[in-house]
Structure formats: structure tokens, C-alpha cells
Structure 1
């Protein structure tokens, strides 16, 4: 599936998403590899099969094998970290902040790509997953490494649009019965 095919599947009520999907992936303050790495990490976080397939297929034209792997790794590790650290942040139990996570996350220290890119991609996944603690940590890292507020905003815009597209496609599949459920009359 291609990005164009995804856009074509969006219903008219989601026209803004269709337009935004085209623009956030092509008009950005980020380098193309950063755009597509953020898109992959966000797609992994958004958990829609068609969106993930389309984004990864298109990203393969903009990222080398190491970049593709690292972007997938950012989405994967944030799937774990965002749940853990969001719980630490929201639980209200100060003791959670004092004890180590005891979760392997070696890929963060050695992602196989520029650290700033991996941090940016992790930020995109964290935005989709809603982990404030992780968003703050990754934002701090990318800014420390020279990225601008506009760069960060562009990564988050990519994440927001990809998440919204995935949400609409999932909802439409549920309404049509394509997800294995009973179709709902419109």
C-alpha cells in the first residue's frame, strides 16, 4: 500500500487529514531521513497495519537499512518505555521515581544512527503514546543536540497526522466489519 492509497481511503470527513498527510511528509524543516524516521516511529506507535506498511514502504526510499531499523527500534522501545514512564509519572507514588526501571533499553544508547535522529524519532512515538515524561526527556535531548523548536514541532505534526489517519482507518474498518466485527449501518 502507498501513501496515496492511504489518502484515497480516507473519507471526506477526514479531508484535512488527507491534505495534512501529504504536506507533513513533504514540507518540513527536517531532513528527509528525519521525516521518514519520525513517520515510521509514529506508525509503529499508532498500530495500524496499513498505515505501518505504507509508511515503511515509502520510507525505504529515504532511509538506508540502518535508518529503517533504528526508526522501527524507536517505535518498539517507546512502546515499552512510554507505558512504564507514563505510569511512573502519573502514579503519584514518589517511590517509583527512585527505583530503576530494570528494563533493557540498550538501543537508546546505541541506535545505529545519529543519536539526535533516534531521539527525534523516539519523541514522535512518545507523542503518539502520550508519555509526558518521555516527551520532555527526548525534547531536551534533541534541543541539546541543536534541533530547533520548529524541528520538534514538525516531528510532532508528523506523529499527530499519522496517528489521526490510523485512528480514522481503524474506525472505518470497524464500521464496515473489515476488522472481523459486525458491520454497523450508517
Structure 2
């Protein structure tokens, strides 16, 4: 007979579409020590993905981008499958991953400019191609929302402020923004346990 924590582990893996016999050191440690956090983690994931202002497709695409940003292969595959299950096309998944890559690049450049506090760096061109932003498959508002979430993960204050302003101008609400940030935050937390 399974303990409550073992059942929670099993349910979490089922939620993600991962095999129940999957072995992840941190997840197994939480399970073996009957950690109450495991239940919180599962509830947090379910709550984040069921945000009131995001469709399940959008929530899973945000999760794909967040997992890609964290370089978590297991979660990337799991969330890709869930995104497809909820109507995402391969081009949308590819663009969510590309967005994570582009924003990782931009976040480093703009964070450096911010940290250095030197006019010379502000005046030098970034010389980073960003054609994907011009006509995104995901649509401009959602692409900006994903960009904002990845910028929040990567801790780029300037990028967060710019993308938040942009996504609001494109019609998003603060509630939608916060739902997207919650998905990103929970995926990052989950990536510390399932890796």
C-alpha cells in the first residue's frame, strides 16, 4: 500500500505524463522522507496551469518556454506533449522555445547595461537579430507575455519593465500578466525537483 506522499508523487508524474517509475533524485528524496512539500508542489502546478486568464494551451506554452529556459529536458518534453494535447501546433512550440533562447540573450545584454551604469554601453548597438519579434506565430500579445515571463525568470529588471509595458499596451491585464508569471515561477520550482 502506498503512503500519501508516494501517491502524490505518482499523481504528479501522471499529471506531467511522465512514467510512474521515473527516478528523479530530489523527487525521490521528498517522497522517501514524507515531505509535505510534495503535495504543495503538485497543488501549485495545478493552480498555476489553471489560471483564470490563460487558456490551457497558453499555460502549457508558457511552461514549455520556462522549462526550455531552465534547460530541463524532462519538463520540456512533458509540457510540449500537454501543449499539443491542448491544441498547440509545432510552430507555436518551436516559437516558445525560440522566445526563451532570444530572451536569455537579451536579458544578459540588458542586465549588463543596467548593472554597469555606463553611457558607453547604452550607446553601443546590441547587434542581436530579433526578427522573430516582428511577426510572431504566437501573436504579438502572447509573444510579449512569454518574453515577460522569461525576463522575470532571468531577473532582468529593464526587460521586465519593457515587456510589461508592451503587453499592457497590447491589451493584457495585470491579472493575465500575474497568471503568466505564476506559471513561470512554478515551472522553475518544479525544475529543481524533476531534473
- TM over 0.5, shorter chain: yes
TM-score computed with the length of structure 2 as normaliser:
0.79
Counterpart among 113, 124, 128 of residue 153 in structure 2: 128
Mark the CA change 1:68 to 1:103 in structure 2 (over 3 Å): closer, same or farther.
same
Query: Where does the alignment leave 5 or more consecutive residues of structure 1 unmatched?
Result: 171-186
Alpha-carbon distance, 1:6 to partner: 8.8
Query: What RMSD, in angstroms, separates the aligned Cα atoms of the two structures?
Result: 2.2
Query: Where does the alignment leave 5 or more consecutive residues of structure 2 unmatched?
Result: 1-12
Counterpart among 136, 142, 145 of residue 111 in structure 1: 136
* Pairing 1:83-94 to 2, within 5 Å after superposition: 83-94=108-119
* Pairing 1:42-81 to 2, within 5 Å after superposition: 42-62=66-86, 63-81=88-106
**1:40 correspondence with 2:45:** no
Task: State how many pairs are aligned.
Answer: 170
In 2, Cα distance between the equivalents of 1:109 and 1:121?
A: 15
Structure with bigger gyration radius: 2
TM-score computed with the length of structure 1 as normaliser:
0.82
State the Cα deviation string for residues 5-26 of structure 1 (Å, max 9, x = none).
Answer: 4999643334322211112112
Moved over 2 A (4+): 4-15, 31-34
